[in-house]
Amino acid sequence: MTLSAPRWLLLMALAVFGFYSTLAVAVTETDYARAERLLAWNASKLVYNVPETPQWLDDGRFWYRKQVAGGHAFVVVNPKNGSREAAFDHTRLASALSTAAGYSFTGEQLPFAKFEYGDNNSIVFWENARPGMSETNDQGEPAQRQWTCSLTNYSCSGPVDVPRKRGDEAASPDGDWLAFVRDENLWVRNAESGEERQLSEDGEEHYGYGVIGEGCCYTVTDRLREAQQRPIVFWSPDSRRIATYRLDERKVEDIHLLQTVGYRPVLHSYKYALPGDEHVPLYTLHIFDVESGARVDIKSDPIQLSWGQGIVAQVDVRWSKDGNSIFFPDMSRDTRQHTLHRADSRSGESRAVITEQSETFIDAPYRTDQHAGVEKQSWTLANNDQDIIWWSQRDGWGHFYRYDANTGTLKNQITRGDWAGYEIYQVDDAGQYLYFSAFGRDWEDYPYQRQLYRVKYDGSGLQRLTEEYAHHELYPSADGRYFVNIYSTRSQAPVTVLRQNNGKVIRTLEKADISDLETVGFRPGTLFSVKSRDRTTDLYGFIYRPANFDPQKKYPIIDYIYPGPQIGAVRTRGFTASPAGNAQALTELGFVVIQFDATGTPFRSKAFHDTWYRNMADNGLIDHVHVIKQLAARHPEIDIDKVGIFGHSGGGFSSTGAILRFPDFFKVAVSGAGNHDNRSYSFNWGEKYQGLLEKDALGGDNYDSQANHLLAKNLKGKLLLHYGSMDDNVHSHSTLLLVQELIKHNKDFDLMVLPNGNHRYASLYSPHAGDHSRYMTRLTWDYFVRHLRGEEPPKEYKIEAR
């Protein structure tokens, strides 16, 4: 049959319309709005009755603030009698403060997050800034509005302008002195009289005392923010002396950033050592007497400066209780030798007391915050300073060992077994107990739940103190008699209890309320277990599905990746309203999302952690392919032909590596701020995990294999790269090397540059700080909707400010 022209045109038009209708907006603004409600900054506001960090008082009580519907509430607890009550009458206090301030407050919206108890049953607090409120005194100096409110008759006096507490001073244990840095030298100020004394006199630029080092990870950000930084100082127990370091960065090479300002960019330079550099930051230790000014230089070789998880220098000095000695660790540049030194605080003579060696990198958390107020320690003094308790993986697992603090002789291994001891919380010399956390000892089906244990110094009497099958967060009292314990799982909302140090529960303090969170579609991830590349080792993660999940439909799968090696993609194993990568929010756009910790991540055996030592090209990617294939075989709703992957920083490095190394498997990647070649990243990082940089006979080196830009020719799928132009952690140069090679090989890719964004994409130079992160979140959603679902996202959906 022959068609007339008009009918032929009509059928063609219908066919074209039918084709394009499959690309019409199927993911709507309503879907995006539903996803937005589950973003971290929105979802976290809907979890109630979980304590913030407890504040312990000198009388043994503690108070905490918790989030409630509409704001916050304060609770005070007395462990001695088990009482728990509101810290004050919130409504009466709000009324009294409103009357005194001439500004309306409610009981759930009090203008402070912390308070102190004052005289005559009163509290003292410093009012949070609010619109129109001055933050200076009459002389233009930084000041806070201090209020005092009686809890007897609920009257408030104030405000009194008091000097704003400075973040760049370190108080002595007795509170009489404040240490600070001025012009690269160490000073002290009498807290009462204001008298100042200069302790060091020879400090100079890039060779100063107590200064915060440059390099990784927020040097320029802090500089432009004019952030106040606490000096690196360690007070003696009697508050008479200070141990500090002198940091030498004079020969460390510079790295540069350009700030977009007006019509002429501004150059920012800072010290940043790369793998293979001849010169890295080094420091020496010194002790100053506050009263006399006398100085003792510790006699030891200069120590390499490392960087901690909190992006602070890993400088760790401990005073003996009698003040006669200091102890300090030293890590070799390749991180395969870890030494603890003891020095005489009067003469400066020092000697090694413990030396740990390994065929691979050594982990040593030193004193970095696990969470605010709790120190994570890999070693400590014990038994009235006669012993050193030392964490090591020498037998293949993380365990604790007891050494003689004077001779360095090993007395005994305290813990042992196929499980991972991790962080020291307390030592109890009277009871001869070590309190510590551990993973994987008591439940073989899931080795990642943190539990609290205690054990005698001699290794006897090991006891688990947390009974619940859950992940436990722990906040010990200063005297070690009690623990505030918050426990949860991904599917069980947090419960907070108060425990004695023998594990006995004194009382339940809080049970979290997540009902409002559930009303916006929140569903916790489902735990899964699959096999790693060796088909034997178990890997664990979480799978997230949309609230309107239909098991009869097919869903693209998106893998949120962070390879470590210092941490993995899952982060907390307990309950969270905002899983890493905002995984739950992304599912609402029609995806199945997973996150798991591949081999090469911590909290398990040393062999598990070492899987790809000196081979950062691996990034656990082989495991990611295996895991996704296993999940697709189990869950028919997963479309194995539509696999996406995304991540930031190390996750940007590995997500790009995934689409370049497995181009026929990963179809779409969104990669942010990636350290795509670790020769362009901090020397600490690369040299720890890839090894010292070594040239080969052909002119290459042992870092070639991990460089993403050398694989640019492999790109087949859709790749979106993004970075902040002021990233002072992972420099954009690493991404630009990749961009250059992608262009060279004529590859299609997408690139988003966020002007003046730092590593976290915070734009500190704009009245719209935070826009970058929200914008990039939306672009990530759009990219996956467009290229994995094959649909057009709603145009220019705007994620609102937090």
Nearest to 425 by CA among 403, 450, 402: 450
Q: CB–CB of 398/345 below 8 Å?
A: no
Does the structure show a pLDDT above 60 at 10? no
Alpha-carbon span 406 to 392, nearest angstrom = 19
Does any domain span residue 792? no
Does any domain span residue 268? yes
Does any domain span residue 638? yes
Alpha-carbon span 732 to 721, nearest angstrom = 11
Mean pLDDT of the chain: 91
30 and 107 both lie in a single domain: no
593 and 741 both lie in a single domain: yes
Outline where DSSP puts E strands in 685-789: 718-724, 750-754
Boundary residue ending a domain (163, 194, 209): 163
pLDDT reported for residue 203? 97
Does any domain span residue 338? no
3-state secondary structure 714-772: HCCCEEEEEEECCCCCCCCHHHHHHHHHHHHCCCCCEEEEECCECCCCCECCCCCCCHH
Tens-digit pLDDT profile for residues 461-479: 999 999 999 999 999 998 9
Residue 665: C-alpha distances to residues 172, 595, 622, 760 (Å): 58, 17, 11, 29
Q: CB–CB of 566/600 below 8 Å?
A: no
- pLDDT confidence band for 444 (50 / 70 / 90): confident
Alpha-carbon span 80 to 83, nearest angstrom = 8
Boundary residue ending a domain (324, 339, 369): 324
Alpha-carbon span 398 to 390, nearest angstrom = 10
103 and 205 both lie in a single domain: no
638 and 568 both lie in a single domain: yes
pLDDT over 70 percentage in the chain? 92
Alpha-carbon span 73 to 737, nearest angstrom = 51
CB within 8 Å of 789: residues ≥ 6 apart: 26, 27, 556, 589, 590, 591, 642
Tens-digit pLDDT profile for residues 132-189: 666 666 665 666 889 999 999 999 998 998 877 788 999 999 999 999 999 999 999 9
130 and 213 both lie in a single domain: no
Tokens 């739940």 -> residue: 449
Neighbours of 312 (CB within 10 A): 18
Boundary residue ending a domain (276, 291, 324): 324
Alpha-carbon span 483 to 496, nearest angstrom = 10
With left for phi above 0 and alpha for psi between -120 and 50, is residue 684 left, alpha or beta?
alpha
- pLDDT confidence band for 621 (50 / 70 / 90): very high
775 and 684 both lie in a single domain: yes
- pLDDT confidence band for 379 (50 / 70 / 90): very high
Q: What average pLDDT does the segment 114-137 reach?
A: 83
Q: What is the pTM of this model?
A: 0.93
Alpha-carbon span 117 to 401, nearest angstrom = 41
Nearest to 54 by CA among 92, 84, 89: 84
Neighbours of 459 (CB within 10 A): 18
Which residue type does 327 have? F
- pLDDT confidence band for 376 (50 / 70 / 90): low
Q: What average pLDDT does the segment 546-550 reach?
A: 93
276 and 157 both lie in a single domain: no
Residue 75: C-alpha distances to residues 85, 89, 110, 149 (Å): 6, 10, 14, 17
Give me the CATH number covering residue 305.
Answer: 2.140.10.30
Does the structure show a pLDDT above 90 at 634? yes
pLDDT reported for residue 761? 86
682 and 554 both lie in a single domain: yes
pLDDT reported for residue 162? 83
Alpha-carbon span 314 to 301, nearest angstrom = 17
Does the structure show a pLDDT above 80 at 368? no
- pLDDT confidence band for 709 (50 / 70 / 90): very high
pLDDT reported for residue 137? 62
For residue 476 the two structure tokens come to: 């010990």
130 and 246 both lie in a single domain: no
pLDDT reported for residue 163? 76
Provide the b/e sequence for 485-506 (b: ≥16 CB within 10 Å): bbbbbbebbbbbbbbebebeeb
Report the SS3 class of residue 112: coil
pLDDT reported for residue 772? 87
Number of domains in the chain: 3
Alpha helices in 196-310, H assignment, sequence order = 219-225
CA 721, distance to chain mean position in Å, is 23
pLDDT reported for residue 319? 97
Q: What is the DSSP string of 584-595?
A: HHHHTTT-EEEE
Does any domain span residue 230? yes
Alpha-carbon span 631 to 562, nearest angstrom = 19
678 and 728 both lie in a single domain: yes
- pLDDT confidence band for 799 (50 / 70 / 90): very high
pLDDT reported for residue 411? 98
Does any domain span residue 433? no
Domain of residue 128 covers: 55-163
Tens-digit pLDDT profile for residues 286-345: 999 999 999 999 999 999 998 643 334 468 899 999 999 999 999 999 999 999 999 999
602 and 714 both lie in a single domain: yes
pLDDT over 90 percentage in the chain? 84
pLDDT reported for residue 373? 37
Helix (H) or strand (E) holding 392: strand 387-392
Tens-digit pLDDT profile for residues 401-425: 999 999 999 999 999 999 999 999 9
Does any domain span residue 8? no
- Tell me how many degrees the CA angle 576-580-584 measures, rounded to the nearest 5: 70
pLDDT reported for residue 120? 93
pLDDT reported for residue 25? 47
29 and 127 both lie in a single domain: no
Does any domain span residue 440? no
Tens-digit pLDDT profile for residues 194-249: 999 999 999 999 999 999 989 888 899 989 988 888 899 999 999 999 999 999 99
Alpha-carbon span 326 to 592, nearest angstrom = 53
